[in-house]
Structure 1
């Protein structure tokens, strides 16, 4: 008698009508009941509930976002200061503008501080000397002269401020603490940027 080909009970394929697990059946019933209740609601109630859910979701997303810092991170400057002496036109003057641009570039590169001081009133060395002395008292690491008035003032008074370091564009005076920067054939801003960067070290 041929052997039976009937599979053991645990290996028989379940039919498509097999009963679902109790947990799945409960979830299906709950979802169906909720959908039925939703369909019975008026359109106004549906809109109100949807708007409330959207507000809850939006609030959750907003709370999950990191809080922005109160202030942008402050730039860390060095203690070194490069200072500029100008005539009454300040850094807007034709002689001072390219010098200030070079100092600004050097500051971005080295994080050195930069300052300028304009000389108001008569364009004389005697009138400008107290302003030069003010920059020396501020302990500027290097003091740059922009224009004829500032250059003449540095040349005439550099020996009296032996502890200071000065830079003039063109021909320097006889004092050892005055450095002359030749700018013929070189943009003034580039030359000044180089000088300030070298002074910062």
Structure 2
């Protein structure tokens, strides 16, 4: 009942309120992106949604238009070369994720849930299958994001996502929401540049398709 009715209603109402309140900020960020570098304001990526149905996620563009397609920043030897000046700020503060409010309003995502895997992250998708974490709507933020984010190994991320599924409810969502605020203020768990192979495969911070 909570997942299908109340959670969806809460998501829609909060996303709509958030879009209205944040519209001036969204406009300012859009202008800064356009002034900072050539290219569109937004880009989209193919992601894995509820029951592994694919959808396009929206983000603010944080990389130059000549950045390698579908290449996680973890795998880039010199990510600073491709990330724009405003992009560095957007990534550090996670403000690049704000356009996903649109995905929430469309019913493709939830505010709280496992971060949607890239369509080709087979290892993460398979790992999440063991915990039922692919069976619910992905989220703007989630339990794994406040417990390690990019620093997590694939199995640890999937396990934490599964833990959220088991404990899903209003109290867990509130805990994730306020935990996210704390994590963003600390810029915790954000990793840029080439790291270990396992971490690079789990990165969702990828440029795939410019709108």
Bigger fraction of residues in helix: 2
- Who wins on radius of gyration, i.e. which is larger? 1
TM-score (norm 2): 0.24
